[in-house]
Structure 1
Amino acid sequence: KSAEKFKLTPVSVLNFLEGTRFTKEKQEKQKSPYRRLLKPKSGGAAMVVDSLKDHLDSILDVTIAYKQRTPTFFEFLCGHKPEIFFTIDQIPVPAEISANSISSAKATQHWIADRWQNKDNLLSELLGR
């Protein structure tokens, strides 16, 4: 219902599917099947796609990775400039995830799982195994 108001207004929706910053401890706690990612939380993304399906042009899949460790906020404030890998993929909204509500939620979860596996593979290539 909250996304309904955006049908008449141009918007960009940001959804951070991991829900938090990656740490090895969080990865182990949630038993993530990915080497470099936490499990995605796809429920919110499925809701947005379902609510705005006729109004979404594309999805931007953004990946940010630090060559060494992730700097702290304080290090950013102090001008620390880490080496960053940054990729953006613009993807047309797949027909299977903009279908009816019941099937699109499951299709969105499967689509995100596939994207996540690709993202995990990309990170392993960029950062080394």
Structure 2
Amino acid sequence: MSLIRKLLSLLLYTINTIFWFVPIFICGLIKLLPIPLLQKTMSLVAKWCANKWVACNSLSQNLIAPYQLNVSGLDELKPKDWYLVIANHQSWVDILVLQRVFHNKIPFLNFFLKKELLYVPILGLAWWALDFPFMTRTSKSQLKKNPKLRGKDIETTRKACEKFKTMPVSIVNFVEGTRFTEYKHSKQKSPFNHLLKPKAGGIAFVMQAMGEQISKVVNVTIHYPEGVPTFADFIAGKVKSVNVQVEVMPVSANLIGDYSNDPEFRVRFQSELNTLWQAKDAQIAELANKQ
């Protein structure tokens, strides 16, 4: 039975993705025309298609591989506001869960992408059509060769994000930088029981580039009571329940600063993030004990 569910789910995901990807790609082609009003219209159309893609994926989950979704903390969210979403990361299933939880609650979830990904055939244009922000990061070796490049990455990214001043957006950041595994946990010697060490640089970069635009930080804790699933487990219906706890936090002025060049700010930022991660670790332990 699980094999049938898996094949049917995979078929529906594939059909749904192709069906909505085509108009998103076409929107990207039309956006290449340097007409601001047309570009903004195509962005809205592309996001509408992406939202329908998420809705159809959620419908597929309910029909073929249903699971109980236990969510708390969504009351303060608005579909027309600016958010930074941070979450622990255990599986690619996390993205599908986040999309389902926040569908029509906040703007479509966007990820910061490296500027090089803009040139990936087909996908790069689709991401651009959806207004995924592309960031530039100058390496330490490049800075040594040319110190004048210092600060250029933030400046370039800020310019790329100017469109979000009038267009609500949700930026997602998996703060650990990679999916949790016992091997990575052991290799890192992480001080947390259920989490990897948080990487402050990525989220600090987002806050430095977009801090004035972001209204709230949405802190998400994801827990799988039956154990962390693979995508294959998920589409086969082996996931019976998922716990998601959401905490909406104000954007503190203490979170915005020059992480790269201000040592005091860097220490303060890392300390605040570690405190947040300690609370998240305790949350996961509490959820695990309730099983």
Settle same-fold status: TM greater than 0.5. Answer: yes
1:18-75 deviation line (CA, Å, top 9, x unaligned):
1222121111011000011011111010011111121111101111011121111111
Q: Which has the larger radius of gyration?
A: 2
Can you give the 5+ residue segments of structure 2 that lack an aligned partner in the other structure?
1-153
Asked if 2 retains the 8 angstrom alpha-carbon contact of 1:46 and 1:109, the reply is no
Asked if 2 retains the 8 angstrom alpha-carbon contact of 1:47 and 1:105, the reply is no
Higher mean alpha-carbon deviation, 47-56 vs 30-39, is at 47-56
- 4+ aligned runs moved over 4 Å, structure 1: none
Structure 2 partner of 1:21: 179
The 2-side partners of 1:35 and 1:93 are apart by: 27
- Tell me the matched-pair count: 128
Q: Once the 2 structures are TM-superposed, how far is the Cα of residue 82 of structure 1 from its aligned partner?
A: 2.9
Equivalent positions of 1:4-83 (< 5 A) are 4=158, 5-9=160-164, 10=167, 11-83=169-241
Structure 2 partner of 1:110: 271
Pair 1:70–1:80, CA change in 2 (3 A)? same
Asked if 2 retains the 8 angstrom alpha-carbon contact of 1:17 and 1:40, the reply is yes
The one-letter code of the counterpart of 2:157 is: A
Structure 1 partner of 2:285: 124
Secondary structure of the corresponding residue to residue 62 of structure 1: strand
The 2-side partners of 1:13 and 1:105 are apart by: 21
Q: Once the 2 structures are TM-superposed, how far is the Cα of residue 16 of structure 1 from its aligned partner?
A: 0.3
Pair 1:108–1:7, CA change in 2 (3 A)? farther
Pair 1:55–1:104, CA change in 2 (3 A)? farther
Q: Once the 2 structures are TM-superposed, how far is the Cα of residue 128 of structure 1 from its aligned partner?
A: 2.4
Q: Once the 2 structures are TM-superposed, how far is the Cα of residue 95 of structure 1 from its aligned partner?
A: 2.0
Q: Once the 2 structures are TM-superposed, how far is the Cα of residue 107 of structure 1 from its aligned partner?
A: 2.7
Secondary structure of the corresponding residue to residue 40 of structure 1: coil
- Identical columns (%): 34
The 1-side partners of 2:279 and 2:178 are apart by: 20
Pair 1:36–1:27, CA change in 2 (3 A)? same
Asked if 1 retains the 8 angstrom alpha-carbon contact of 2:221 and 2:246, the reply is yes
Asked if 2 retains the 8 angstrom alpha-carbon contact of 1:57 and 1:92, the reply is yes
TM-score (norm 1): 0.88
Asked if 2 retains the 8 angstrom alpha-carbon contact of 1:27 and 1:38, the reply is yes
The 2-side partners of 1:82 and 1:19 are apart by: 27
Q: Pick the structure with more helix per residue.
A: 2
Q: Once the 2 structures are TM-superposed, how far is the Cα of residue 78 of structure 1 from its aligned partner?
A: 1.4
